[in-house]
Structure 1
Amino acid sequence: MDAMEDQWPDLVISDIQMPIMNGLELCKRIKADIKTSHIPVILLTALNDIENQIQGIKDGADAYIKKPFDARQLVARTEALLENKKRLRERFKIGIPLTKDNNLNIRNDNAFLEKLYHLMAQNLDNQNLDMDQFARQLYLNRTHFYQKVKALTDKTPFEMLKMYRLKKAAELLVEQPELSVNEVYTMTGFKSRTHFSKLFKEMYHTTPGKYSAKSKDSNIS
C-alpha cells in the first residue's frame, strides 16, 4: 500500500495468507480507494474455504485462483484481465455509460468518470478552467488525478476535456444550426476561433463551418 502511493502497478497478484495484512484486506483496501480501485487484483490461496472465495469476490477481486495451479493458468488469467482493461479504456474514452454493468469494479470506475464528465459539463464554457479544481472536487491530489484518468482512458485530463468540448461543439452545430461558429467556440470554452477550428478539423476532418453547413443541407433534404 505504501508503494502504491508513488507508483501504480498494472495488476496485483497476492496470496490470501499473509502476515500483518492478509490478501482479502489488501484487495478490499485497493478497491475501496478511489485512487487505486481500477487496478485488477488476482488472489491466490491454498484454502478451499468457500467463505473466503465469496469474501474475495465481495471485496472486488477480479480473479481467484486456488493452489496448486499451473503457471500457464496464472499467465492466461493475467493476460485476459489486462486485455479487458485495455478494452474498457476504449469504452470509457468515448464516454459509453456503463452504470448498468454488474461488475463492481467497472461501476466504481464508471462513477468516477461520470463525476468527471459532470464537472466538464458544468465548466463547458469556462475558458480559464483550472484542472486542479477537478482534482480537488474528486478528492484526489493533482498527481493521482492525472494518473487515474490516464489509467482509465489512456488520455490525460486535458485531452479528455478537449475531446469532450469538441464533441459538444459538433452537437451544437448540428442540433442548433442557427448558432454561428463564433458562438459555438465560446460556448464550448475555446479562447480563439483559429485554435478551435484547427482542433475541430483534426477530429472531424472538416471545418466547423462546413460541418454546420452539411448538417443544414441534410435537414433541408
Structure 2
Amino acid sequence: MGMPWFTVCLRCKGQTIYQQVLSMERPSSLQGWNWGYCGHYAFYHALYPRAWLVYELPGQQVVLTCRQVSPVIPHDYKDSSLPVAVFIWEVENGRDEDVEVSIMFSLQNGMGTKEDGSGGHWNEPFTFQKDGERVAGVLLHHCPAVNPFTLAISAREKVKGWPCCCGSCWGGCAALLRVGELPAASWPKDGGARAWGWHRFSALA
C-alpha cells in the first residue's frame, strides 16, 4: 500500500489558520497539500507495544499527541499477530480562544508504483454498531492479480459529540487547504493509482 499520512487543520471563527501534513516528506503527488513538516517540532517516544508522537505546531500554541497501540493479547498469539493499529489523539490548546482542530488520516489504495495505473482497486464506506457505539470508515479493496486483500480505516462516528466523516478522493483535493476537509465522493469502482481513502474527525479545543 501507499504510505499513510495524518493531516491537521486548525480553524478559528470559521477561517482556516493552519493546515499541515504531519510528514517531513515532499512527494511528487498531491501537490495541493502542504507537505514538509519541520522535524524540529516533532518528538517520537517508544515503549513497546506503545509509541507516541508529540507535534508542537509552530506558531500556533497547539500541541498534538498521537498515541499508537498495536494490541498485544497475553497467551493469544493469533490475534496479537493481526495487522491492527489504534491511534489515540490528544489536543492541548494554549491559545486564548477556542480553536477547531480537524485531524485526517489518508491512505492510498495502491502500492505507489506505475502498476497502480492499471486500476481495479476500489473503496467503499461502511458502518458498524455495537453496544450503542457506531463506527464509520472506509474499506480499501486492493485487487492485484495475486493475493487481493482489503484494508479498513475507521473511527467512532462521534467523539465527544463531534462527528467523524469518511470518503474517497482522486487527485489533488484543493478543498483540503480551503476548508480543512475533503468533499464527499461517489465511490466509483475503479480508482486506479489515485484512489485515496480518508477519515477525518473534528473537535473544539
Bucket of the pairwise TM-score, normalised by the shorter protein: under 0.3
Tell me which of the two structures has the higher relative contact order, counting C-alpha pairs closer than 8 angstroms and 6 or more residues apart.
2
Give the TM-score, by structure 2 length: 0.28
Q: Quick check: which one's helix share is greater?
A: 1
Give the TM-score, by structure 1 length: 0.26
